[in-house]
Structure 1
Amino acid sequence: MLLLISSFLCAFVSLPAESESQPSPVNKSAQSDPSDAYYALDRVLNVNIDISPTGWDSLRAQTRTLADILGGKDCLDKPADDIFSWFNATVTVDGETHTDVAVRKKGFLGSLSMEKPSLKIRFDKFVDEQLLGGVLKRLTLNNAQQDPSMINTCLSYHLFAQAGIPTPRCNFATLRVNGEDMGLYVQVESIKTRFLERNFADPTGNLYEGTLSDFRPDWRGTFEKKTNEGTRDQTDIDAVINALQDPSPTGLAALKEIVDIDRFLTFWALEVLVGHWDG
């Protein structure tokens, strides 16, 4: 049971810790955000990417496997390497064109595809302060190739939000690359500063990403800090690991001081309800 709880907590680690007195994330999400228009459910973004043919072929061909992450004797000592490269492109979204935009492939295992790759788009990576519509730094386009309906992601996020779980904003986009119709994508908000500010009373906590990570003593190094990267302190991760390793009531009491147990159980139940298994 300890390992099962630990595995599910791994999916929850990307949310900063919060106190039980914090306002509901659902109420906070209702606050106006200048970029809300780009995630309206009744809007399908029209995205066009112009990129060199050789660059596009290189981008599509990049991949990673379990061996890339778990290979080597020190594979659990550090976060998984990000092997996807950024490529320069011209990107047009609903008629608004930006040059020198960074585009790269994303995904792992079931979502990787050469024919229809999932993509990350960064407007400000090569050009400082370049923003889509003056408000948005990035777009994330998921191919949802394991979901023929294309609606599971946004529908599930809606259910999670209604239950008080912080969730990314989500809608859809059509994509053309060098004039070729790539079809429909799910457009998902990246878990970044704007998301934290909208959902947490204190957005300055540590944000972690875990790729094949778990709350085990010898796996602690696999968690990658996405905020406060200037310090290597991971005492918050260690506190969760130590609490989970203690089978006594003291361990559970310590865990309750770190994790919002009620909200986590709600999250866990919804994971089962929607059949979530791979991001």
Structure 2
Amino acid sequence: TVGIHLKGSIGSFRSIDDKPGLTLSFEKFVPQQRFHGLRKFHLNNSVEDASYMNELIGSDLFQAAGVPAPRVGHAIVELNGRALGLYVLKEGFAEEFLARFFSQPEGNLYDIAREGHDVNEAMEKDFGKGPDDRSDLEAVAAAALEPDLRRRRQRLDRTLDVERFVSFMAMEILLGHRDGYCLYRNNFRVYQDVDSGRMIFFPHGMDQMFGNPRAAIQPTMNGLVARAFMEMPEGRAAYRSRCAFLITNVLNADRISQRIDQTIARLRPALNREASAALEREGAALKERVAARIIQAEQQLQQAPLELLRFESNTVNLSTGWQPVDIPEGGRLAQTNTADGKRALMIRAGPVTSASWRTKVLLPRGRYLFQGKLKTEGVERLKFGKNHGAVLKVPIAPSARSEPVLGNQAWKTLRAPFEVAESEREVELVCELRAGKGTVWFDREALCLIRVP
């Protein structure tokens, strides 16, 4: 007797009569029952990864970087006599997983209660013999929220396995794990190592990787601990150094390609001709994305780190240094000249667009306005979600955004107010369009940062 649970999020969940994602628990009804030494594993339908290999490659690379990650393989699944086809088989986060990495695998293991929760919010204790009062999580959260950067580093050193965390951050970003902890506060676990008493982050849900080879290697971090670490000058330096080390010693495009080829060769005999051809095609595409990502990451690392922005007056012009992000299918981003002679950052929407131009600055403590001018033509809302239209925003706080602009709008000045509470902080500035149709132009010469007295 085995416990079976339907799994999956909004994008990957499928019903039992489709191709469901499944979790199999072997001791749910029979104590101490195991399957090849495992008490639990997942069968992922991989509907968001046509290559069926992102989880496998991700797990290999995280482990090579010194970050614990579950083992991953593949399975051909049949349910009640119905052939469901190829699945990704992934080891569950259970005691035997911890025992492979820790001499005392009795610490507390935490999972997020829901998407977007962080260590300072509701997290569920999966198991562990540690305290039930969340004091271990509260300690690392308090360290991350420490306003004094020198004391913050000291407190993080006491509560967080910093060496592993730097590698965890670097690997999430280098692999383009956009649905992970650093960027989305999703798909992660946190474990307290009994020996050191420090918290360790584990990766999870790595089916969406290598999507955008040009993605920034030093983006704005949304995860509390990641953001807190990157706000420290020595944290940013350690992160960049670790990225360089991992690119040189772990992210080897030839070795990854060989791993993909070996996996395809192993799976081919179990697949029909159509499925085998699809796997070959998607594997080749994945190899191209991996190679492109490594090249782009190397190029970005060669760029000098940011220096503290200096204000000769209260205003700094921001006409240069903008990078396109998330070019939409059926749309376009370009630096262009408008009909009335303005140099502009243009975004033309496709049917589903959340695209932007972005740049970064390193700012001292203070209050600021991100200001610019835009005009729009035929901008229409998306059919889902919120925060539609063209805006200026700063992903530092929900309130740090201008009013949205929809429809047809002549040149209009917008402002996004924000505050830097730390002694210094790396801040990303965003010119964004979320729309299902239409075009926006941001006047490059009008984009500026104003320091508020």
Q: What is the TM-score of this pair, normalised by structure 2?
A: 0.37
* Equivalent position SS for 1:110: coil
Q: Report the Cα distance in structure 1 between the residues aligned to 2:71 and 2:97, rounded to whole angstroms.
A: 9
Of the structure 1 ranges 182-191 and 257-266, higher mean CA displacement relative to structure 2 is found in 257-266
Deviations 1:62-112, CA, capped at 9 Å, x for gaps: xxxxxxxxxxxxxxxxxxxxxxxxxxxxxxxxxxxxxx2211101222221
After superposition, the Cα gap between the structure-2 partners of 1:143 and 1:215, relative to the gap in structure 1 and judged at 3 Å, is same
Q: Report the Cα distance in structure 1 between the residues aligned to 2:105 and 2:39, rounded to whole angstroms.
A: 18
Q: Report the Cα distance in structure 1 between the residues aligned to 2:56 and 2:97, rounded to whole angstroms.
A: 16
Alignment-derived partner of residue 108 in structure 1? 9
Q: Report the Cα distance in structure 2 between the residues aligned to 1:119 and 1:275, rounded to whole angstroms.
A: 25
After superposition, the Cα gap between the structure-2 partners of 1:130 and 1:243, relative to the gap in structure 1 and judged at 3 Å, is closer
The question of 1:200 aligning with 2:102 is answered yes
**C-alpha displacement of 1:124:** 2.2
Q: Report the Cα distance in structure 2 between the residues aligned to 1:206 and 1:173, rounded to whole angstroms.
A: 30
**C-alpha displacement of 1:205:** 1.4
The question of 1:264 aligning with 2:165 is answered yes
* Equivalent position SS for 2:127: coil
**C-alpha displacement of 1:231:** 4.9
Alignment-derived partner of residue 212 in structure 2? none
Deviations 1:237-278, CA, capped at 9 Å, x for gaps: 111111111121112210111112222111111111211123
Alignment-derived partner of residue 156 in structure 2? 255
Q: Which amino acid aligns with 1:165?
A: V
**C-alpha displacement of 1:229:** 6.7
The question of 1:276 aligning with 2:180 is answered no
Alignment-derived partner of residue 223 in structure 1? 123
Task: Choose between structure 1 and 2: higher strand proportion.
Answer: 2
After superposition, the Cα gap between the structure-2 partners of 1:129 and 1:240, relative to the gap in structure 1 and judged at 3 Å, is closer
**4+ residue runs of structure 1 moved beyond 2 angstroms?**
127-133, 135-139, 228-232
Alignment-derived partner of residue 186 in structure 1? 88
Q: Which has the higher contact order (CA 8 A, sep 6+)?
A: 1
After superposition, the Cα gap between the structure-2 partners of 1:131 and 1:215, relative to the gap in structure 1 and judged at 3 Å, is closer
Among 14, 19, 26, which residue is 1:123 paired with?
26
After superposition, the Cα gap between the structure-2 partners of 1:169 and 1:264, relative to the gap in structure 1 and judged at 3 Å, is same
* Equivalent position SS for 1:199: coil
Alignment-derived partner of residue 140 in structure 1? 42
The question of 1:214 aligning with 2:118 is answered yes
Matches within 5 A, 1:167-182: 167-182=69-84
Q: Report the Cα distance in structure 2 between the residues aligned to 1:143 and 1:151, rounded to whole angstroms.
A: 12
Q: Which amino acid aligns with 1:250?
A: R
Alignment-derived partner of residue 67 in structure 2? 165
Q: Which amino acid aligns with 2:13?
A: L
**C-alpha displacement of 1:162:** 0.8
Q: Quick check: 2:44–2:88 contact (8 Å CA) kept in 1?
A: yes
Matches within 5 A, 1:53-64: none
Q: Report the Cα distance in structure 1 between the residues aligned to 2:38 and 2:104, rounded to whole angstroms.
A: 22
**C-alpha displacement of 1:129:** 3.4
Deviations 1:182-229, CA, capped at 9 Å, x for gaps: 11111001011001111113212111111322133xx2xx11111237
**C-alpha displacement of 1:234:** 1.0
Q: Report the Cα distance in structure 1 between the residues aligned to 2:10 and 2:110, rounded to whole angstroms.
A: 21
Q: Report the Cα distance in structure 1 between the residues aligned to 2:171 and 2:31, rounded to whole angstroms.
A: 39
Q: Report the Cα distance in structure 2 between the residues aligned to 1:137 and 1:271, rounded to whole angstroms.
A: 27
- What residue ranges of structure 1 are gaps of 5+ in the alignment? 1-99
**C-alpha displacement of 1:140:** 1.2
**C-alpha displacement of 1:230:** 8.4
Of the structure 1 ranges 230-239 and 117-126, higher mean CA displacement relative to structure 2 is found in 230-239
Q: Which amino acid aligns with 1:127?
A: V
After superposition, the Cα gap between the structure-2 partners of 1:237 and 1:103, relative to the gap in structure 1 and judged at 3 Å, is same
Q: Which amino acid aligns with 2:60?
A: H
* Equivalent position SS for 1:126: coil
Among 226, 236, 241, which residue is 2:141 paired with?
241
